[in-house]
Amino acid sequence: MLHLDNMTAGSRAILDQLSIELPSWAFGNSGTRFRVFGTAGTPRTPFEKIADAAQVHKMTGVTPWVSLHIPWDMVDDFSELRAFAESEGVELGTINSNVFQDEDYKLGSLCNPDPKVREKAIAHHIACIDIMRQTGSRDLKIWLADGTNYPGQDSIRARQDRLAESLQRIYNELDEDQRLVLEYKFFEPAFYHTDVPDWGTALVHCVDLGERAKVVLDTGHHAPGTNIEFIVAQLLRRGRLGAFDFNSRFYADDDLIVGAADPFQLFRIVWEIVSGGGFDPAAEVNFMLDQCHNLEEKIPGEILSATNVQEAVAKALLIDPEELAAAQCSDDVLAGNRVLMDAFSTDVRPLLEEWREERGLPARPYEAFQESGYLDKIRSERTGGTAMSWGA
Ligand code: LRH
Ligand code: MN
Ligand code: MN
């Protein structure tokens, strides 16, 4: 039987320090382009989203941060929102810019051929940096919907030059203790070419910008079959892995609960983070979820996601690096694979129940939340007003 006492001090520290940031937008209604199905009790304000996110932390003890999306989470007074978050036991984290919803951004934002539109997009990022000063956030996260649908529609090369120039203007506005994290995605909404489609492009721009520019890896943003753990290894070795957007997918950017589609891939990614030192706080990798709960209840969806990440981490921590290294030096091709598979096949749930009980947390967060009565409470209290949705 596995026990916390059997873990090495290093592994124990990783488990204890693991912290996962929640996306505010996961608590609003969302859907596909065909329909958004609402749920009763959905937050009507950014304050209510934070109250819901705080429930996830109360149950799991591993999600002390909430990431905001601007302008979806626009409020008059961010210091009030910050104080509210703190009173709920969580902190405000990454600020995500949004330059993909205005009519002006039809042909792109930071890469748009029209300099006036580029100026507007740069100004939005500067406003986000100002919000970061009020929320105490370290990271400005940029994901761009920029791209084209038809060959010849715009110059791929000129758009890269505009991107570099716009990003530099934004980067120059950051304070010393702030970072710019750049997220890539291989397609959608653009279908022919995307301006930041892959980790190579993101890395090239980050290297040009400076030390405080890092790459964001959203697990749903790759072509099927991509070896994501390889990307993790490469970015970690260059000190350029800034953040994760964890989710899972069967087809494209499905934004499903982490570990739901492919727990083995999650384990492989997490092992690469463990072995590359990515969970060391000094590596400053921010572990975030980026999900949408189209059909399921949102708070339980986030609880499961957080505990699935925690389980993958606990499994990866079972791997003895020395045993693995010895296996990898042997002539047996399968020896190292056996070490990994043994760890993956181990049930770490009792170990994590012990970990939670040690902290006075519910041993089974999902069940504890279902029994807490919180959903009934918000369903009856949150009547009137307009439920927030992805995109509002
Ligand atoms: C883009 C993305 C990005 C956005 C979020 C809402 O697909 O992953 O991180 O900010 O979705
Ligand atoms: Mn994302
Ligand atoms: Mn996405």
303 in Cβ contact with 345 (< 8 Å): no
DSSP 8-class letter at 259: T
Res 1: pLDDT: 74
Strands (DSSP E) found in the chain: 20-23, 65-70, 91-97, 139-143, 147-148, 179-183, 193-194, 213-218, 241-246, 286-289
What is residue 132's three-state secondary structure? helix
ipTM: 0.99
pLDDT digits (tens, 9 = 90+) for 21-80: 999 999 999 998 899 999 899 999 999 999 999 999 999 999 999 999 999 999 999 999
Domains and CATH numbers, the chain: 17-314 (3.20.20.150)
Does residue 49 sit in helix, strand or coil?
Answer: helix
What is the position in ligand 1's atom list of the atom closest to the CA of 216?
Answer: 9
Ligand having the closest approach to the CA of 256: 3
pLDDT at 152: 98
| Separation of alpha carbons 325 and 327, rounded Å | 5
Greater pLDDT, 39 or 329 = 329
Q: Which residues line ligand 1 (CB under 6 A)?
A: 25, 96, 143, 183, 185, 218, 245, 253, 290
Closest CA to ligand 1's atom 5? 290
Question: What global pTM score does this model have?
Answer: 0.98
Q: Considering only CA atoms, which residue is closest to atom 3 of ligand 1?
A: 143
Pocket of ligand 1, candidates 97, 183, 187, 221: which has the most ligand atoms within 8 Å of its Cβ, to mutate? 183
Of 143, 146, 186, the residue with max ligand 1 atoms within 8 A of its CB, to mutate for a pocket test, comes to 143
> What are the two backbone dihedrals, phi and then psi, of residue 209, each rounded to the nearest 5 degrees?
-70, -45
Scored b (16 or more CB within 10 A) or e, 226-245 reads: eebbebbbbbbeeebbbbbb
In terms of Cα–Cα distance, which of 165, 129, 144, 163 is closest to 99?
A: 144
Q: Are 274 and 239 in contact (CB under 8 A)?
A: no
As a whole number of angstroms, the distance between CA 247 and CA 308 comes to 10
pLDDT digits (tens, 9 = 90+) for 359-386: 999 999 999 999 999 999 999 999 988 8
The string of pLDDT tens digits covering residues 184-234 is: 999 999 999 999 999 999 999 999 999 999 999 999 999 999 999 999 999
Tokens coding 130: 């100002």
> Peptide bond before 189: cis, by omega within 30 degrees of 0?
yes
β-pairing verdict for 147-148 and 193-194? antiparallel
Residue 218 Cα, ligand 3 centroid: separation in angstroms?
Answer: 7
Task: Please name the amino acid found at residue 221.
Answer: H
Mean local confidence (pLDDT), 4-11? 92
Name the amino acid, one letter, at 146: D
Structure confidence by residue, pLDDT tens digits, 91-113: 999 999 999 999 999 999 999 99
> Within 13 Å and on the Cβ side, how many CA atoms surround 332?
11
Q: How far apart are CA 392 and CA 389, in angstroms?
A: 5
Q: What's the pLDDT band for 392 if we cut at 50, 70, 90?
A: low
- Tell me the one-letter amino acid at 88: E
Q: Treating both helix axes as pointing N-terminal to C-terminal, what angle do 263-275 and 298-316 enclose, rounded to 10 degrees?
A: 50
Q: What is the pLDDT of residues 261-316, one digit of tens each?
A: 999 999 999 999 999 999 999 999 999 999 999 999 999 999 999 999 999 999 99
Q: How many Å lie between the centroid of ligand 3 and the Cα of residue 383?
A: 30
End-to-end Cα distance, the chain: 48
Give the pLDDT of residue 192: 98
Q: Tell me which of 140, 218, 247, 256 to substitute to probe ligand 1's pocket, judged by most ligand atoms within 8 Å of the beta carbon.
A: 218
Region of residue 233 (phi > 0: left; psi between -120 and 50: alpha; otherwise: beta): alpha
- Nearest residue (by CA) to ligand 1, atom 4, is 143
- Report whether pLDDT(390) > 80: no
How much is the pLDDT for 122? 99
Which pLDDT does position 144 carry in this prediction?
98
Q: Measured in angstroms, how far is the CA atom of residue 304 from the centroid of ligand 1?
A: 20
Contact (Cβ atoms closer than 8 angstroms) between residue 355 and residue 61: no
Ligand 2 center from residue 331 Cα (angstroms): 41
Quick one: which atom of ligand 1 is closest to the CA of 143?
A: 3
Residue 79 tokens read as 């210091």
What is the four-CA torsion angle of 137, 139, 140, 144, rounded to 10 degrees? Answer: -140
